[in-house]
Chains A and B, each alone.
Chain A
Amino acid sequence: MPFVEISALGKSYPGGFSLRDIDIALERGQILTLMGPSGSGKTSLLRNICGLDTPDSGSIMVGGTDMTHLPVRRRNIGMIFQDLALFPHMTVYDNIAYGLRSMRVPEREARERVRDLSEMLGILDLLNRYPSRISGGQRQRVAVARSVAPSPPLLLLDEPMSSLDSQLRENVRSEIKSFAKKIGLTMIYVTHDRREGFYMGDKAGLMFNGVLSTLRSPEDIFSAPEDEKSARFLGYNVMEDGGERFAFYPTDFEFSDAEPHLEGTVMSSGFEGDIYRMHVSMPDGNSVQLWLPGNRAGSVPGQGSRVSFSITRKERISGFHNSKEY
């Protein structure tokens, strides 16, 4: 039996939005990333798992315990919020010790636990400071330490790095993953950034309109998108050719006049360091993105240029795996 098993979870919210038939199976120590656009239900799902919301149907089992109807305080599931929700009137030490004190852990044990975690996360010298007096990355680590201190069987992270700049984000996500693996933490990590999601997860799932796709490895999800929405979210171009919908990744093309080829007009192009990104307007009114890797100064078609290209690898959109209706 999986360590975390969520079966057929459903929840309706005022306003018409609902989570439908959510199934998740996760082994101990695994990291699952949930990706999807804003408003797709990722946060709602986490709220149901940790007990802030109660599902209308389905079940939530963690470590063999049925948590479906347990109140939030009795679940012992950790959660890191998007805004981190550090208590501004408490020092870093008090924030981290908060959950331990709530569990009536003797102060000496709590102190040791706080010190151990702080040492592992490199925030030992910040314990007497207030959250407003430390940097964004340090706050992130404090939030992790606070959530992990009571040793939750499962930690939920709700886009915790959305407020960090890209450089810091990469460092912190690497630290969180390494920390989680070191202590064998089971995590569900929510993000709308697919690169971050792929990096963090042993397994990944995509959410659209309250429905979660089949969970697969990040590599599987990326290389074979289930449907058009997934393909678009993952950065694929979606086109139609001879009545058949297909997707191709922006790097899977070559400039060529040989038949069969496609033609379009470059609307804009620019250098992003590792690639040149071109937005090409197609005759049917749609636009596609094409990425040219490497540094090709002077040789990339500029705005208004006509380009001919052929697709080197296509993915058919329908018939992949067991697609759900979003």
Chain B
Amino acid sequence: MAERNGIITGGKLPAWVFVSMPTIFILLVAVYPFLVLVHGNFSLSFFSEITGNSPTAQLVRRGIWNSITQGVLSALASFVVGLPLGIFLGRYEFRLKRALNSLILVPFFLPSLIVVFAVLSGFGNGSAASSILPFSGYLSGGLPGILVVNTFFNAPLVAFFTKTAVERADVSLEEAASTLNSSTFRSFYSLWGRDGIISGLGGAILAFIYSFTGFAAPLIIGGIGSYTLDAWIYFEYRTYNLPAAIFFSITEALILLIPAAIYLLYSSRMVRTTSTGNRERNGTPYRSLFFLAGIAYAILWVATEVYLLSSLIINSLEVRGSSVLGLDNYRYLVSREISSSIGISIQGAVMNTLFYGTVTATMVTAIGIVWVIGKRRLGGGKFLASESFQYVPLVISAVIMGFAILVVFGISAPGNLIWVLIVAAQASVAIPVVLRIIDNGFATIPVSQSEASMILKGIPSLEVELPLAKSAFATSLMFGFAISIGEFSSTNLLASGSFIPLTVMLYSLQGIRLFGPAYAVGTILLIISILAFVIIQKLGERFVAFR
């Protein structure tokens, strides 16, 4: 079969199936259940609950305002903090760069609840920071606290996106500009930093979406008055007002679609300055002001990170009513008491967390690889419509998505298969990010290398593309794992009893004011996240080829 005038007939059918995999998955897991829920439950009458003067309307508007404020300010702060980190890491080569890069990225790989507890430990009452710098207590509550949490969580994402783009900037373009008397700043914003800034903006859009839809984090650190629209949707759902929950989730999706659509449209039209050659930049100017400022800034970031995370660990070791450190909180976690109050043992929650993370990361990475290979076989062009569709799970309220999955599939699924629904929900949230990472990783592999492998009767995907994109492969596994263990809203809704993972256990413990054990669970989650991060990075390094 053949390709005629751009119309693909049978010969490329498998590639089209591959390309459609994420769309099919999202349709099945996110869109179809959502539409089923909307059908019969949607009513425009709730519009008055946004525009009216009733007390409920005022509460709804406050939720929307909180979401917008937290989203916009967090995105701005994440961009401002993360961009310099990304530029520094992308621009310079130096010893220990990989280690520094990994350390900077760590917060994004942590569940947001850990970040909340780390900030509470690091800046809250009685913390080392508050005794030295009294104003730092201001950062552990209210809107500032929410911004610190969201920025600490999302700035690494902005840095990661920026760094990847800056690394790929074409050295020869910069050299050409310097021969045309371009200033350092002009070369930066018009050439080598341009793609980094735009990619960083992509990270900021994600920061906006994650912060806008924040649920547990703003409530814990900001107090009850900081509830977001997502929290309000959860409230409506818990009070059995499903039509209202659905109406507000559609409202949320519409608000989130605006920045997502603007960014997608803009980035799809952007002409990149990506390098096509293999020229390397001249040696790093270790004594330049920019380099020294960059390294100082990066060290400040890592120092803050280490301080906050170690505060969490120390808090988990604090014995209530005593100044000595001990393992009381951990002893409580392994006691029988925990099972009766939360519904699962700590060992069970750890196993669940590892299981969901591993299955989700593997599944999403596999979908991403199948998709990108199909895309390459079809000529590697832009599939804007289907690629835009991959962002749908980001704009559907996770609370509603979890509930929709439960309603549509949960009724027919046997009780012991609830884990399938949890993994499906987590995977659909991970797809937008993981697929972008895989796409970027594969974009640097010349198509001719895959074709050469085909001509030589090899298996290009396994022998050429995956080994060459090993770093993207490992990174996508990391992101998949991180998003799985960090996803809270739909997991909280779906998981109960023996299916509860650590994040839900952590939220439940703080809900019943058992803060010490909650810090201990946070520490266990922290250790799991960092171990997974290190193991997957090592896996990526060793990955050579399947044959």
- B residues less than 8 Å from A147 (CB atoms): 456
Q: Is the CB of A89 within 8 A of B457?
A: no
List B residues 444-464 near A (Cβ within 8 Å). Answer: 446, 448-449, 451-459, 463-464
Are B456 and A81 closer than 8 Å at their CB atoms?
no
Verify if A258 is at the interface (C-beta below 8 Å from B). Answer: no
Q: Is A153 an interface residue (CB 8 A)?
A: no
Collect the chain A residues with CB atoms within 8 Å of residue B459's CB.
Answer: 102
CA distance A257 to B148 in the complex (A): 89
Q: Which residue of A lies closest to B9 (CB)?
A: A54
Q: A82-B448, A85-B452, A87-B449 are in contact. Are A12 and B5 (CB under 8 A)?
A: yes
Inter-subunit contact A12/B547 (CB<8 Å) = no
- Looking at chain A, what size class is its interface with the partner chain? 35 or more
Provide the bound-state CA to CA distance between A82 and B452, in Å: 11
- A102 near B457: Cβ-Cβ < 8 Å: yes
Determine if B544 is an interface residue (Cβ-Cβ < 8 Å): yes
**In the assembly, what is the distance between CA of A90 and CA of B464, in Å?**
9
B10–chain A nearest beta-carbon distance, Å: 10
Q: Can you name the residue of chain B whose Cβ is closest to the Cβ of A57?
A: B2
B351 at the interface (CB under 8 A from A): no
Which residues of B are found within 8 Å of A41, using beta-carbon distances?
A: none
Q: Which residue of A lies closest to B447 (CB)?
A: A85
B468 within 8 A of A: yes
B-facing mask of A70-85, CB < 8 A → 1, else 0? 0011011111011101
Give the residues from 223 to 238 in chain B that come closer than 8 angstroms, CB to CB, to chain A.
none
Do residues B464 and A77 form an inter-chain contact, with CB atoms below 8 A? Answer: no
**Contact call A72/B448, Cβ cutoff below 8 A:** no
- When distances are taken between beta carbons in the complex, the residues of chain A under 8 Å from B455 are 50-52, 72-73, 75, 77-79
Asked if A89 meets B458 with Cβ closer than 8 Å, knowing A56-B2, A56-B4, A83-B446, the reply is no
A103 touches B457 (CB 8 A): yes
**Nearest neighbor of A47 in chain B, beta-carbon distance:** B451
Interface of A is mostly: loop
A89 lies within 8 A of B545 (CB): yes
Check if A89 sits within 8 Å of B446, measured CB to CB: no
Within 8 Å CB of B456, what residues of A? 98-99, 102, 146-147, 150
Between B4, B452, B455, B457, the greatest number of chain A beta carbons within 10 A of the residue's beta carbon is seen for: B455
Chain A residues with CB under 8 Å of B2's CB are: 54-56
The listed residue (B5, B449, B454, B458) touching A14 by CB distance below 8 A is B5
| A301 at the binding interface (Cβ < 8 Å) | no
* Shortest Cβ distance from A14 into B: residue: B6
Kindly identify which residue among B457, B544, B545, B547 contacts A99, using a CB–CB cutoff of 8 Å: B457
**Contact: A85 with B451, CB < 8 Å?**
yes
Identity of the chain A residue whose Cβ is nearest the Cβ of B11 in the assembled complex: A54
Q: Which of B11, B448, B464 contacts A81 (CB 8 A)?
A: B448
Residues on B with C-beta less than 8 A from A75 are 455
A101 at interface, CB cutoff 8 A:
yes
Q: A51: which B residues are within 8 A, CB to CB?
A: 455
Q: Which of B452, B454, B459 has the most CB of A within 10 A?
A: B452
Residue of B nearest to A82 (CB): B448
Q: Within 8 Å of chain B (Cβ to Cβ): is A88?
A: yes
What 0/1 readout, one digit per residue, does chain A (6-28) give for beta carbons within 8 Å of chain B?
00000011110000000000000
Chain A residues with CB below 8 A from B1, complex form:
54
A53 touches B3 (CB 8 A): yes
Kindly list chain B residues whose C-beta atoms are within 8 Å of the C-beta of A52: 451, 454-455
Within 8 A of A (CB), among B64-116: none
Contact among A14, A15, A53, A150 for B457, CB-based, below 8 A: A150
A73–B5 CB distance below 8 A: no
The reply to whether A12 and B448 form a contact with Cβ atoms under 8 Å apart is no
CA distance A76 to B458 in the complex (A): 11
Q: Which 6 A-B pairs have the closest CB atoms?
A: A14-B6, A99-B456, A102-B457, A85-B448, A85-B452, A54-B2
Known: A13-B6, A98-B453; 7 extra A-B contacts, CB below 8 A, are A54-B2, A54-B3, A82-B448, A83-B446, A85-B452, A87-B449, A88-B468
